């Protein structure tokens, strides 16, 4: 099921303090960019954050899971 624009807006509102946040709609889902680099995906109304070393230190009890 494609992600809703409403869910994307919730995510974007949480990121509003960051400059240069953009997104692209692709095949019913969304890719979120920060300073022209991919930082996350919105798939099936779930937020998937790129599993970088920095992200792993900031997010406790993360679960690695494929988007589909």
Residue-by-residue pLDDT tens, the chain, 68 positions: 799 999 999 999 999 999 999 999 999 999 999 999 999 999 999 999 988 999 899 998 888 888 77
What spatial distance separates the first Cα and last Cα of the chain, rounded to whole Å? 10
**What's the pLDDT score for residue 1?**
79
- Indicate the domain borders of the chain: 5-58
**What's the pLDDT score for residue 50?**
87
**What's the pLDDT score for residue 68?**
76
CA dihedral of 25, 37, 10, 67, whole degrees rounded to 10: 70
Classify residue 23 as exposed, middle or buried by CB count within 10 Å of its CB (0-12, 13-18, 19+): middle
Reference 8, options 62, 44, 55; nearest CA is: 44
Which residues share a beta bridge with 30? 25, 42
**What's the pLDDT score for residue 31?**
97
pTM confidence score: 0.85
């Amino acid at each position: 099921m494609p992600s809703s624009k409403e869910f994307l807006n919730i995510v974007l509102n949480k990121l509003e303090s960051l400059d240069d946040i953009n997104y692209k709609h692709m095949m019913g889902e969304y890719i979120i960019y920060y300073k022209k680099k991919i930082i996350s995906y919105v798939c099936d109304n779930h937020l998937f954050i790129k599993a970088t070393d920095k992200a792993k230190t900031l997010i406790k009890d993360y679960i690695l899971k494929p988007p589909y």
